[in-house]
Chains A and B, each alone.
Chain A
Amino acid sequence: MQPLSSWLKARWPWLAVLACLTLAPAFLNKFYLGLMVQVFILAVFALSYDLLMGYSGILSFGHAMFFGSGAYVVGLLLKGAAWPLYAVLPVIIATGALMGVLVGIVTLRVRGVYFAMITLAFAEVIYILSASSQLRPWTGGDEGLHGIPVPAWMSPTAERVTFYYISLSFLVLMYFLARRIVNSPTGRVLIAIRENEARAATIGYNVFWYKVLIIVISGVLAALAGGLNALYFRNATPEVLGVGRTIDALLMTIIGGMGTLIGPVLGAVVIRVLGNYLADWFGPRWPLVFGLIFVALVMFFPWGIVGTLRQRPLRGLAQWIKRLSRGAGQKAS
């Protein structure tokens, strides 16, 4: 047991941030509190994506299906079936886990780009079905579900401060959960799989089930974030299942720095808060700016904010210029 003073010394920046966030409702107005809530929700979504891409080296282009399913479970059960909220929670978790198991078992037979394609395909099928007019009586078709009834004590409009604390605790809880997983023996195996799958298998780890496990965990986290998202906006539209959502997760993870956990959380802050201002400056086409930032990051700062700070900055830029000037003479690999 280390003494309290050294524990505090090592962690004071985090405690300071947490204290600021806890006190924030005293200083921020409703609009900014709402923005923060969205940041927290997106942060958990990005966090779950980082567990896959950053820690396990699994490139999924269909992560929106978990997020969107969480949202639709909330919408269908609260609005359609009028379930109480506490009963919906286990259903979200079960849905995320079940989808994770199915997707994992089915898709993990293929690897690399094939995996990216097949996850994209699965997500797209679910997206298409959610928007199809045949399912309109249940899902609301391409308009989605609106006016989801949220219990009065946590109403996102009237009781926004309560909702703020709920989503803040949700993020903190999920962050520590993810960190616990990453630092556990299982997490170490996952990193080993990312670094060299064949070697991890040779040592005797059952690579397949480790991957399924992390897809399930990541899926549950994303589904929970999606569920909270549906509660906050009181709707679930096909948009939460679309490719754009997956790209959001990718963007946040890449901007913040993959394989760092805190990076994607920062990425969510950047995306949501900056996006808010960009919308003012650039009008409806502000996502273009994000796209350009994304391309530039992939090119020059592939390890994102956190990753770049930990490495030597600007190395990517220098390399790019050098490679381009060297021209076509390089060997393919």
Chain B
Amino acid sequence: MTLETLVNIGLQGLTMGMLFFLIASGLSLIFGLMDVLNFAHGSFFMIGAYVAWATFDGTAAIIPFSDLRFAIALVAGALAGGGVGALTEWGLIRPLYKRPIFQILMTLGLAYVLTEVVKVVWGASGHSMARPESLSRAVDFLGRPFPAYRLFIIALGLAILLVVSVLLQRSRLGMIIRAGVENGEMVQTLGINVRRVFTLVFTLGAALAALGGAAAAPFVGIYPEIGLEYQLSAFVVVVIGGMGSFAGSAVASILVGLARAFADYQLSPLVAQAIIVAVMAVVLLLKPEGIFGAKKGGGL
């Protein structure tokens, strides 16, 4: 393997890692804070992809600039995901805090329903989305052409990483979230309405996942199974990174993304996927709280 191939695969892995990060960070924070393992999180990713694609193609007649349309599509995707997320937490998850096992069953059922809804609205077969004009070029990277779109995903992921880190570390809300992950009951006792923070974090997590889906749409295509597929990778990331640890999911996303890219190159994608899921199983068994584990115990 030459150095150029190495760099190329590395960049590919980074791209995938950023997509994983966008789903996994929300999944991890939601679990850390609320003890809800959201099996519907991939559905938000899927919704983001579909809404972004529909917006991008739907506004083609009105707005001639594909870059502007793409920006609108990204925002629309994230908003749609966040909206569905907020409704989910408020209407379906909140009434079930006293019955945690049913919370999981609910999110699993919801994932099933949302996938079917998407199939009803947009059909069961896949779609593809064009890239915006300024991102459809290839950029020279160490003498080899590399798609600008992938660099965009990497930049987007890094930007979100930065914004959310600042939010978590430097804002009052972030302080409450971190304290909530540590000990939710104590935060409640101090007179903070934890339930409202729950809704906020769930919405934010859903919006991030949907943004990831929207950004992934032109890159991996749009199909109903995309949600479950990326969710499985996000589970791997969250388990390796440690449930509830934001930094952990960031590092683990990149690790898993790189591992996937190299395994895809050497083996087949299916086998790569199976191996990575097996790695997750091993980590779960040896160190259930994850490598950067923030939270102990499996809940329930």
Contacts and interface: CB of A to CB of B under 8 A. Distances in A.
A310 to B, nearest CB: 18
A332 interface: yes
B120 interface: yes
In this complex, which of B108, B196, B280 has the most chain A Cβ atoms within 10 angstroms of its Cβ? B108
Nearest to A126: B274
Contacts of B124: 284
Contacts of B99: 302
Contacts of A57: 101
A117 B239 contact: yes
B137 interface: no
A276 interface: no
Interface residues of B, number: 58
A292 interface: yes
Contacts of B109: 247, 291, 294-295, 298
A302 B277 contact: no
Interface string A112-123: 111111101110
B284 A250 contact: no
A299 interface: yes
Contacts of A208: none
Contact of B92 (A116, A124, A299, A330): A299
Interface stretch (B9-17, B110-118, B208-216): B110-118
A285 B274 contact: no
Nearest to A61: B108
A125 B120 contact: no
Nearest to B106: A298
Contacts of B95: 299, 319-320, 323-324
Contact of A330 (B195, B228, B236, B297): B195
A294 to B, nearest CB: 4
Interface string B228-272: 100010011001000000000000000000000000000010110
Nearest to A119: B281
A331 interface: yes
A132 B102 contact: no
**Size bracket of the A interface:** 35 or more
B91 interface: yes
A85 to B, nearest CB: 31
B193 interface: yes
B156 to A, nearest CB: 28
A90 interface: no
A313 interface: no
A306 B270 CA distance: 42
Contact of B277 (A61, A106, A121, A298): A121
- Provide the main secondary structure of the chain A interface: helix
Contact of B299 (A113, A134, A291): A113
B270 A133 contact: yes
A21 to B, nearest CB: 31
B104 A113 contact: yes
B105 A110 contact: no
Contact of B284 (A59, A118, A298): A118
Nearest to A294: B109
A302 B271 CA distance: 38
A247 B92 contact: no
Interface in A262-292: 284-285, 287-288, 291-292
B119 A285 contact: yes
A116 B185 CA distance: 25
A329 B195 contact: yes
A316 B232 CA distance: 32
B288 interface: yes
B299 A112 contact: yes
Interface in A75-126: 106-107, 109-118, 120-122, 124-125
A323 B113 CA distance: 24
Given A133-B270, A243-B228, A299 B106 contact: yes
A315 to B, nearest CB: 13
Contact of B112 (A106, A116, A287): A287
A111 B100 CA distance: 13
Interface string B198-222: 1100000000000000000000000
24 contacts: A57-B101, A107-B285, A113-B31, A121-B278, A125-B278, A128-B273, A132-B271, A247-B108, A254-B105, A284-B124, A285-B116, A287-B116, A291-B113, A291-B116, A294-B113, A298-B96, A298-B102, A299-B96, A319-B95, A328-B193, A328-B199, A330-B97, A332-B198, A333-B97
Q: Nearest 6 A-B pairs (CB), nearest first?
A: A112-B300, A112-B298, A291-B113, A288-B116, A113-B37, A328-B195
